[in-house]
Amino acid sequence: MFKSKKTFFIFLTFIFILMLNFSVFAAPYVNLKITYDGKTYTYNKERVYLYVNSQSVENLPLEPIILNDYTLVPARETFEKIGASVTWIKDSEQVQVVYKDMVVLMKINDVNATVNGQLFKMSIPPKLINGKTMIPVRFVSEAVGLNVEWNNSTRIINISEKLVQDTTTETTTITETTTAAPQADIIIESIDMPDSDERTFGIYANKKIEKFEQKILDDGSVAIDIYNSKHILSQTTIESVTEFVSTVTIETLDNNITRFIFKTKSSVLNNNFLSKDGKILYANFGGNPIKKIETYNDGNNDILKIHGEFAPTINITKHETSNTLNIELPNSAIVNLTEDFKDTKYIDKIDYSKSTNVVVNIEVPLKENVGFSQKTEDNMVIITIGKNIDNSNSNDNNNNNTNNNGNENNGNATSSRQFKIEKKSNTPLNIQNIRHTDSYLNKEYILTFDKDITSLISLGEHNVNNELVDKMLVEDVDGVTRITLKCKKITAVNVTEDDNYIYINMLSPKEKYKNIVVIDPGHGDSDGGTSGNGFVEKNINLDIALKLNSLFEANPDVKAYFTRLDDSYPSFNDRTNMSNEVGDMFVSIHQNASGNGSTAPNGTEVYYLKPNTSDRGITSKIMADTFQKNLLEDLGLLDRKVKTANFIVLRNNKMPAILCEIGFLSNPSDASKLSNPDFQQKVAQSLYDSTIEIFEKYPSKR
C-alpha cells in the first residue's frame, strides 16, 4: 500500500495531527437541568468558554447558556470582571448594568431594554435560569461600548474594551463606510396628527420598524429616531393642536435615521409603543397607556385588573337599572392592549369600545346585582366584584359631624373641607398659640392648643370624610386639648377665625404652599444601598436628610416633604406617588460605590431622565445642572458631570426630578468626608441653597 517507510511515517504523522486538533477544538458538552419560566428542561449543548479581556472567567455559578441561538451569561460575574456595576432590582425583576457613562436597564422576560433612557429591542430577553440572572452577552456588551468576539472553533466568547484608534485611520474608515452606505430599508409614509382632545401620534411605515430610540434634546423636546429608514413626507414641520405638543419636525440624519422632534409645551409623560405588526410607532404624550385588562374568578369573587404604565386614576359608578359598572380612566389611552379574560361568575363582558385617546371608558355588564370594591397596587387597579361587598366608590362625603360620646351641643359643624368651633367668652383662644405638627408620613396632622377647650368641642372621634381627611380625634393630653386629623392623603391645614368661630381649614398642599419640594433619602431598612470603608449608604442619606429637614423647617416660604425621616423603606411607588401628588420638584439623595472593588473612583454626579418641564419653566436638566454646579463649588469633590439614567424614581416622576450621587463610599477620601457631620451639613446646605435658587429663578404661578 505504501511504497516506502517514509511515506507510511508521513501518513501516521498526518493522522496524529488530525486527531490532536480534533481533541483540542472539540468542546465538551454541558449536560444539566435548567429551570426558567416555570418549567424544567434538559440542556445538552457544547460548552461555551467565557473570556474577559482575553482572560478566562472561571468558577461561574452557571455556565453560559445558549437559547434560540443567543448566548446568555451570568450578569454580575461577567460584567463586574470588566469594571461594570451590576444591580439587581428585586421588586421589578430588573437588572441594571452601569459601565462608565452607559446605563443599561433590562427586565426579566422583556425584550425591551433602555440604554441611557433610550428604548432598544433585544433579540432575546434576560432570564432567571436556576435562580441566576442571565443576560444577553452581545447586546449588553455592545450597548455599553465593549467588543464581543466569537470563535466558533474554540467556542470562546471574549468581551474586551475597545482600543482608541488613530484619528486619521478612523476618519478614512468612516469616509469609506459612508460612501458605501446601504439604502434605507424602511419607508416612513405618514404621521397621524391627533385632534386637540387626543394625545397619541401615529408614525406609519411600509414595513416593521426594527429599532427606534428616544432622546431628550437640550430644549426639552422629545426626539424619536427611527433607524434604517427614510421618509416621504411632503411637510417636515407640522403644527400640533394637542395639549402637550406644539409642533412636530421631521429631519433626516446620517446613516439612514429619520428623526421626529416633538416640541413639548409643558411637563409631560411620554411613552412610545409599536403596533403588533411593528409598522406603526405610537408616541403618546400626557396619558397613561393602558396595557392589559384581565379577568378571572378567585373561587368566591370575580377579579378585574387594569394595568397601566403606572397605576391608573379611576372613577367607577354603578348603573342600578342596567346593573352595569361604568369605569372611567381619565388621562389614559389604550395602546397595544393585551386581553387576558378567563371564566367569571358575575362579569358578563368587558367593553372598552367607547374609549378615546384622552379617556378610557370600560363598561362591565353584570349577571347579578352584586357589589364591588377597588384598590390600587403597583401599576394596576384591582376591582373585586361579588356578593357581600360594599360599593367602595359611593363618594359619600358625609358633612354631618358626629362623635363617639353623642354630645352634639357644642355648636361645631363641618362643611366639605372645614371644621368650625364656636367661640365662648369663658374660654378665650389665641390661634397664634396653636402648635402645628405635620406628621404626614403617618397620615396625620396634629393641632395642640395651649389650654383645655373641651367646653367648645367634645372629646372623641368626629367624622369628616372629605377627599383629604377621614376623621378628627379630640383628646385631653396633660390638661390641654389635642386635635388629630386622620388623613387619607397628605393634607395642609390653616386655622382662621372670625368673631364667632375658629375654623380648621383642610387644604391640599398646593393650595397652601407656594413652593414644594419632595426630598427622597435613598434606600432604608433592609435595603442598605451601597457600602464602603465601614459605612452604609442608607445611614449617610438619612443623616443628610435630617439636617436638610431642619433647614427647610426654618423657612416658611418653602415646604419640604421627605419620603422617609427614619430607617424605614418606602417603596419606589411610595416615593414617586408622594412626589406626583404634592411636589413641584423631586430630589433623591444617594451615595455611590465602585462596582469592581476599586477604591479609585470618586466625586459627585447628578442624574436626570425626562425633561418634565413644570409650569414655572424649570426642567429636570436645568435642575441637574444647578445642583451639580453648587455641589461642586460647596463640597470640592471631583466633577463626574450631569448624566442621564433610567432610574425608577426618575422614570415615574411627572415633575422635574433628579438623583444626586454625592460621593463614593468605596473611596477612602470621599467616605471620610461623607461620614463627618460637618461635611454632611455642607451637603444639606448645598441641596437647600440649590432648591431655593430654583424656586427664586422659576417663581410659582400659584
Catalytic residues: 661
Count CB neighbours of 568 within 10 A.
14
Contacts of 587 (CB under 8 A, 6+ apart): 517, 518, 519, 520, 627, 657, 658, 660, 687, 691
Q: How far apart are CA 590 and CA 101, in angstroms?
A: 17
Contacts of 3 (CB under 8 A, 6+ apart): none
The values of phi and psi at residue 545, to 5°, are -65, -40
Q: How many distinct helices (H) and strands (E) make up the chain?
A: 11, 50
Question: Nearest Cα to 438, choosing from 574, 524, 562, 551?
Answer: 562
Q: 225 has which bridge partners?
A: 213, 259
- Give how far Cα 635 sits from Cα of 145, 530, 540, 627, 663, Å: 32, 21, 15, 12, 10
Please report the beta strands in 162-256, taking only residues with DSSP state E, as ranges in sequence order: 186-192, 200-205, 212-216, 222-227, 229-231, 237-239, 245-253
- The DSSP element (H or E) to which 97 belongs, if any, is strand 94-99
Question: Dihedral of CA 362/366/371/377: which sign?
Answer: negative
112-115 vs 118-121, strand pairing mode: antiparallel
Question: Nearest Cα to 73, choosing from 83, 62, 58?
Answer: 62
Count CB neighbours of 327 within 10 A.
24
Amino acid identity, position 550: S
Cβ(604)–Cβ(631) below 8 Å: yes
The two most distant CA atoms of the chain are separated, in Å, by: 134
Q: How far apart are CA 579 and CA 518, in angstroms?
A: 6
Cβ(581)–Cβ(568) below 8 Å: no
222-227 vs 257-264, strand pairing mode: antiparallel
Q: 98 has which bridge partners?
A: 85, 103
Sheet of strand 65-67, all strands in order from the earlier edge strand to the far edge: 65-67, 70-74, 132-136, 127-129
Can you read off the three cell numbers belonging to residue 64? 453560559
Cβ(315)–Cβ(327) below 8 Å: yes
Question: Nearest Cα to 225, choosing from 202, 251, 259?
Answer: 259
Q: How far apart are CA 629 and CA 624, in angstroms?
A: 8
Contacts of 492 (CB under 8 A, 6+ apart): 438, 445, 506, 507, 508, 509, 511, 512, 513, 559
Can you read off the three cell numbers belonging to residue 318? 354603578
Helix (H, G, I), strand (E, B) or coil at 20: helix
Q: DSSP states of 381-445 as a string?
A: EEEEEETT---TT------S--BTT----S--EE-SSEEEEE--TTS---GGGPEEEEEGGGTEE
Helix (H, G, I), strand (E, B) or coil at 376: strand
